[in-house]
Chains A and B, each alone.
Chain A
Amino acid sequence: MSDRDSAASPLLVVTGVGKRFERPRPSSWAGRLVARLNTRAGSDDLDDDDWVDPYDDVEESQPTRDWAVQDVSFSVGPGGGVAVVGERLEGASALLRVLGGVSPSTTGKALATGRTVYVSNEMIAAMPRDCSIREASIVLGLVLGIPPRVTIAALPAILDFAGVDADPRRRTRSMAKLELGRVAVAVALHSGASVFLYDADIAFQRSPFHARVWAFLACRLADGCGLVASAPKGPHALGGLCEHALLLEGGTVAATGTLGEVEEERRRRSGNDRDAASTDTWGTATCTWSLPDEVGARDHERERVGADLEALSVIGSPEARVLGLEIAPQESTSRILCELAIPHGVVAPGSEARFTISAWPHGRAAERFVQPRPIAVGTGARTALRVEIAAVLERVKQIDLSVAVELRRGAAVRMLHGETVSLEPHKKGDQGAVGPGGQG
């Protein structure tokens, strides 16, 4: 996995890292004493000089095994990404926390060139809750090792990235937790770190912000940074960002390899053999989408362009179509909103299909804008899949789209409606359809 990375002076080398939870042994008097001490040291008393933390949420966690992670080794080179795959509580987040220095390791070591930053929802706890968002961002920046002047200078970009339409003087108490979480992640991403340790199991997964984060990380990888990301829902959630992956089971590395190999292994081990064996891939269709020249020239303007994407019908179901792309140019980034409509009857009730959309600049498949996002369709109802892609559109004039469909074997496919969606551009002054520049 790491040969190429090692040869290119790796950014992060992890050797035999393990993290053990110290659990008391209630059977012995010493263990009971330690347990009592640990319990009592949790909360504050009410002495006059005591500081009572209103956000004190001392948790009595009960780990299910002694070792959270054990003997994990890998390396990350410049521009490289490693996905840490595993179900919940298999140690992916624990590994990232150890690598980020949040939790001390028990064994092994990690050598990093440059700075690593642990990016997760939990960073909200590092932000003061009773201050302005400006101060909260500065404090989080201090925690991440960023001087205050750097955070202040980057604050407009951070708030814009977070999609928070807030006055920097706005109090954090008035913000929703998700909003604050986005700001925290935005600060971490703008920290100038060399290696990002991204815990993908965060609250705002499957949201436009998540896609924006993915695009940002893709740019950072192109700049030579490294990425280690957890993927509790499977490596497919990480798309083209991570070429390599390792599968954690019970805290130990069960498999390593490419993303596809690890995913296959994960399915096999999870007992979903029937899924693997019974899934038919209908096929994928790729088309090239040519953007109008005016796209990107105007700010804060939404344009809806569409095309007759009959090319996608090759996937076997003429009913699965990409309805169109909604482009919203915003300063240096633009959002591409991709809708995939699955009309009623495409998939029989009770069966399961997965549709995946991904996009990338024409001819540059390595620079995927968005990770494949499988959407399970179980009822046969009409489903609209909205995927928001953040892209620097002034550099991109053609976008390739790929739609892949996987269907569990045995499911019936019926065509109840012969819908054909004809997409017309709604851009003012342009009556012609902006069609695909090529067909896949």
Chain B
Amino acid sequence: MTARAVTHTARQLTTPIALLSETWRYRWLALYFGIEYVRMRYRGTWIGWWWIPLRPAIEMGSRALLFGGLLGVSSGDRPYLIFFSVGTAAWLVFDRVGFFAMRSLQMNRRMSRSAYIPRLAVVTGSVLPGAVEAALYFAIAGLVGLYFRIERGSFYLYLDRHLWIVAAGLLLLAAYGVLFGMLTAPMVVYARDVRYLARYFTGAVYVFTPVIYPLALLPPAFRSIATYNPLSAPVEMVKYGLLQTAPPRWGAVMSSALILAISFLVMLFVFARSARRAAAAV
């Protein structure tokens, strides 16, 4: 191992590069945390890992029935179940990543009392459970698409050159989830109230994100809010790439990416300090 001088009093990593460099060195640890977060979803249950596909299937079925069947939310010329699956999969990347990232420091406080744990690696490990849940929803969408392929002759999912747009959208959503976690995780260590407030906040953001409805369905007064919601553009990118819905506005995409970049940079500085204080509190 190459010897290098490291200022390591509590690993005072005050620069983004140092923080990111350390996270890269501990990438395997981040992967371990991600696996643990996934296991948490079924730990202590009787049917075990079957809950991983079962929960999304039950949730999606019930919500698709509610919004598509009972409320009649339009999804254009495609089955609502597929529209709902794709949109929800995209949203879950942000929601699940943000949820586990927000709770990561608190969940691992026992471990962090006994050894040095790189805080950002703990937070970034949350990407895995988000990816797993999103993948399940995409898989369900694929199965439903296969069904319709047989029944109606159309798959309704487009797996073509626009897949890179899907990947970019998912990446943006995961990054926003990590950003959300970096902001809230140190605060959650001090006060559980932050978790409750965060849920209400993400719930409100969910309403103004075109996850389960096309953007065009919103009244004009709210459409601009939804359009420039930083999460709307990535969700629209995913839906456009897979379902060939209306493409997102480039202005909305660029503003979303710009907000993410600036916020991430600022949060790296803030996180380094706040995570250190949170470590002291732990």
A272 located at the interface, meaning its Cβ lies under 8 Å from any Cβ of chain B in the complex: no
Whether B3 and A114, one on each chain, are in contact in the complex, defined by CB atoms closer than 8 angstroms, is: yes
Residues of B within 8 A of A38 (CB): 190, 281
Please tell me if the beta carbons of B10 and A55 are within 8 angstroms of each other in the complex: no
- Please choose the segment from B110-118, B161-169, B228-236, B241-249 that sits at the chain A interface, where 4 or more of its residues have CB less than 8 A away: B110-118
Query: How far is B221's CA from A412's CA once the two chains are assembled, in angstroms?
Result: 99
Could you tell me the distance between the alpha carbons of A109 and B4 in the complex, rounded to whole angstroms? 16
Q: Which residue of B lies closest to A148 (CB)?
A: B28
User: Is A435 positioned at the interface, with any CB of B under 8 Å from its CB?
Assistant: no
Contact status A103-B10, CB under 8 Å: yes
Which residue of B is nearest A122, CB measured? B114
How far apart sit A219 and B62, CA to CA, in the bound complex (Å)?
A: 64
Residue pair A101, B99 in contact (C-beta under 8 Å): no
Residue in contact with A103 in the complex, picked from B28, B99, B279, CB distance below 8 Å = B279
Contact B107 A51 (CB under 8 A): yes
Closest B residue to A106 by CB, please name it: B280
What residue in chain B is nearest A16 (Cβ atoms)? B9
Q: Is A37's CB within 8 Å of the partner chain B?
A: yes
- Let me know if B4 and A113 touch, CB within 8 A: yes
Q: With A41-B192, A112-B8 as given contacts, are A143 and B117 in contact (CB-CB < 8 Å)? A: yes
Q: Contact at B115–A118, with CB atoms within 8 Å?
A: yes
CA gap between A102 and B109 in the complex, in Å: 11
Q: Say yes or no: is A255 at the interface (Cβ < 8 Å to chain B).
A: no
Question: Are B110 and A56 within 8 A (Cβ)?
Answer: yes
Is A22 an interface residue, CB under 8 A from the partner?
Answer: yes
Interface residue B57 (Cβ < 8 Å from any Cβ of A): no
| Residue A276 lies at the interface, judged by CB distance under 8 Å to chain B | no
Which of A17, A22, A102 gathers most chain B CB within 10 Å? A102
CB of B202 to closest CB in A, whole Å: 13
B6 touches A45 (CB 8 A): no
Q: Is the CB of A116 within 8 A of B8?
A: yes
Asked, given contacts A57-B110, A102-B115, A125-B111, whether A192 binds B1 with beta carbons under 8 Å apart, the answer is yes
Taking a contact as CB atoms under 8 Å apart, the answer to whether B116 and A101 are in contact is yes
Task: List the A side residues contacting B277 at CB < 8 Å.
Answer: 104
User: Is there an interface contact between B8 and A103, defined as CB atoms closer than 8 Å?
Assistant: no
A111 interface hit (Cβ, 8 Å) = yes
Contact between A111 and B5, CB atoms less than 8 A apart: yes
Q: Are A53 and B7 in contact (CB under 8 A)?
A: no
Contact call B26/A125, Cβ cutoff below 8 A: no
Tell me which residues across on chain A come within 8 A of B1, comparing CB atoms. 114-115, 192
A156: Cβ under 8 A from any B Cβ:
no
| Min C-beta distance of A180 to chain B, whole Å | 12
CA distance in complex: A122, B192 (Å): 26
In the complex, which residues 158-203 of chain B have their Cβ closer than 8 Å to any Cβ of chain A?
Answer: 188-192
Nearest CB of B to A225, in Å: 11
Q: Which residues of B contact A102 (CB under 8 A)?
A: 112-116
Interface of B is mostly: helix
A55–B10 CA distance with the chains assembled, in angstroms: 25
Does A295 reach chain B (CB closer than 8 Å)?
A: no
**Residues in B neighbouring A101, C-beta threshold 8 A:** 8-11, 116
Contact, CB under 8 Å: B3 / A125: no
The proximity string for B residues 243-282 relative to A, scoring 1 for CB distances below 8 Å and 0 otherwise, is 0000000000000000000000000000000001101110
A330 at the interface (CB under 8 A from B): no
Closest B residue, CB atoms, query A59 = B113
Residue B12 interfacial (CB < 8 Å): yes
Report A-chain residues with C-beta under 8 Å of the C-beta of B192: 40-41, 45
Residues of A within 8 A of B191 (CB): 37, 40-41
**A104 proximity list for chain B (CB < 8 A):** 9-10, 12, 276-277, 279-280
Q: Is A100 an interface residue (CB 8 A)?
A: yes
Q: In whole Å, how far is B277's beta carbon from the nearest beta carbon of chain A?
A: 8
Q: Is B25's beta carbon under 8 Å from chain A?
A: yes
Which residue of chain A lies nearest to B280 when distances are taken between CB atoms in the complex?
A104
Q: For B8, what are the chain A residues with a Cβ–Cβ distance below 8 Å?
A: 101, 110-112, 116
From 15 to 42 in chain B, residues with beta carbon under 8 angstroms from any chain A beta carbon are 25-26, 28-29, 32, 36, 40
For residue B188, which residues in chain A have a CB less than 8 angstroms away from its CB?
Answer: 41
The answer to the question of A26 belonging to the interface, with a C-beta cut-off of 8 Å to chain B, is no
- Taking a contact as CB atoms under 8 Å apart, the answer to whether B190 and A41 are in contact is yes
Decide if A109 touches B113 in the complex (CB within 8 Å).
Answer: no
Whether B116 pairs with A17 at a CB distance below 8 angstroms is no
Say whether A145 faces chain B, with CB atoms less than 8 Å apart.
Answer: yes
0 or 1 for each of B90-117: is its CB under 8 Å from A? (1 = yes):
0000000001000100110011111111
B-to-A contact residues, CB < 8 Å: 1, 3-12, 25-26, 28-29, 32, 36, 40, 99, 103, 106-107, 110-117, 188-192, 276-277, 279-281
Q: Can you report 16 A-B residue pairs in the complex whose CB atoms are below 8 A from each other?
A: A37-B190, A38-B281, A40-B191, A41-B281, A55-B110, A98-B10, A101-B9, A101-B11, A104-B279, A110-B9, A111-B8, A113-B3, A122-B114, A126-B114, A142-B32, A194-B3
Q: Which A residues have a C-beta under 8 Å from some C-beta of B?
A: 17, 22, 37-38, 40-41, 45, 49, 51, 53, 55-57, 98-105, 108-116, 118, 120, 122-126, 128, 139-140, 142-145, 147-148, 192, 194
Given pairs A101-B10, A114-B1, 14 additional interface contacts (CB within 8 A): A22-B280, A51-B40, A53-B107, A55-B110, A57-B110, A104-B276, A104-B277, A111-B8, A112-B8, A118-B116, A122-B115, A123-B115, A125-B113, A125-B114
5 closest A-B pairs by CB = A104-B10, A101-B116, A125-B114, A122-B114, A142-B29
